[in-house]
């Protein structure tokens, strides 16, 4: 599969050029997530436990499979360097997992597994390499949230009082790891389903405010 949709997003961030180069991903897996660290370093993720890494601006991509994750769908990747990256697998129950590497993908540590049979995690985002948050579809009327303050050594459920409540059939978007965005101390969560809303927290997920989004939904 070629990175026709990945690379324009990745490297246009660092250049005002109006032309793009199609680059070969060297994998047949469907690609879902993308994280560009610099003009030279980028990571991607996809089905069948696949991850990709480039350290030369996409001229070449190293492809690998996380051991024990061959059946998982990595919908989100968040990278901080050529060595350090997190992967989030989306799926029901224990298919939702978080992995981390600190050596460029040579070794991966399983940091989090969702054990709630009703849970389905969608996205992950970080304020910095130590502090991050992951969101899942609603369970019992509230979005699932777990957070880390120690680089993923522990992922702890956000207390119920701090988790945003959902409307009926409202859920997060798990297609490409883009339902969470972080800037400064704030984090935004976008939803879809019978309602399309934007949640914003200005204090790293302790409290949330919701606003309706005037876009098509229920599809």
- Residue 86 is predicted with a pLDDT of 99
With beta carbons less than 8 A apart as the criterion, state whether 42 and 58 touch.
yes
C-alpha 15/C-alpha 109 separation (Å) is 34
Cα–Cα–Cα angle for 31, 29, 153, rounded to 5 degrees: 65
Class of domain 1-108: mainly beta
Question: pTM to 2 decimals?
Answer: 0.87
- Residue 10 is predicted with a pLDDT of 45
C-alpha 43/C-alpha 21 separation (Å) is 17
Ordered per-residue pLDDT tens for the chain, 219 residues: 344 444 444 444 444 456 788 888 999 999 999 999 999 999 999 999 999 999 999 999 999 999 999 999 999 999 999 999 999 999 999 999 999 999 999 999 999 999 999 999 999 999 999 999 999 999 999 999 999 999 999 999 999 999 999 988 888 877 778 899 999 999 999 998 877 899 999 999 999 999 988 776 655
Please, is 128 exposed, middle or buried when counting C-beta atoms within 10 Å of its C-beta (0-12, 13-18, 19+)? exposed
- Residue 21 is predicted with a pLDDT of 85
CA 202 → CA 33, 44, 80, 184, distances in Å?
25, 28, 23, 9
How does DSSP assign 30-43, residue by residue? PEEEEEE-SSS-EE
Three-class SS of residue 106? coil
> What are the strands, taking DSSP E only, across 84-213?
85-89, 97-101, 109-113, 121-128, 131-139, 142-148, 156-157, 171-172, 180-183, 186-192, 197-201, 209-212
C-alpha 133/C-alpha 159 separation (Å) is 13
What residues contact residue 187 under an 8 Å CB cut-off, 6+ apart?
125, 133, 180, 181, 200, 201, 204, 205
């Amino acid at each position: 599969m070629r990175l026709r949709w990945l690379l324009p997003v990745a490297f246009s961030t660092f250049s005002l050029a109006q032309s793009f180069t199609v680059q070969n991903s060297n994998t047949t897996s469907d690609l879902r997530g993308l994280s560009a660290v610099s003009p030279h370093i980028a990571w991607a993720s996809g089905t069948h436990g696949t991850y990709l890494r480039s350290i030369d601006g996409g001229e070449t991509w190293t492809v690998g499979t996380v051991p024990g994750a061959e059946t998982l769908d990595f919908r989100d990747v968040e990278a901080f360097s050529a060595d350090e990256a997190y992967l989030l697998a989306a799926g029901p129950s224990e298919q939702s997992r978080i992995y981390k590497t600190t050596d460029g993908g040579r070794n991966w540590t399983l940091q989090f597994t969702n054990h709630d049979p009703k849970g389905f995690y969608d996205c992950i985002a970080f304020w910095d390499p130590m502090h991050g948050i992951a969101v899942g579809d609603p369970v019992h009327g509230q979005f699932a949230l777990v957070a880390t303050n120690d680089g993923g050594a522990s992922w702890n459920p956000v207390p119920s009082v701090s988790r945003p409540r959902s409307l009926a059939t409202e859920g997060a978007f798990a297609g490409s790891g883009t339902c969470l965005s972080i800037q400064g101390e704030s984090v935004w969560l976008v939803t879809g389903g019978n309602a399309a809303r934007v949640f914003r927290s200005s204090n790293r997920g302790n409290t949330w405010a919701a606003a309706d989004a005037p876009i098509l939904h229920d599809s």
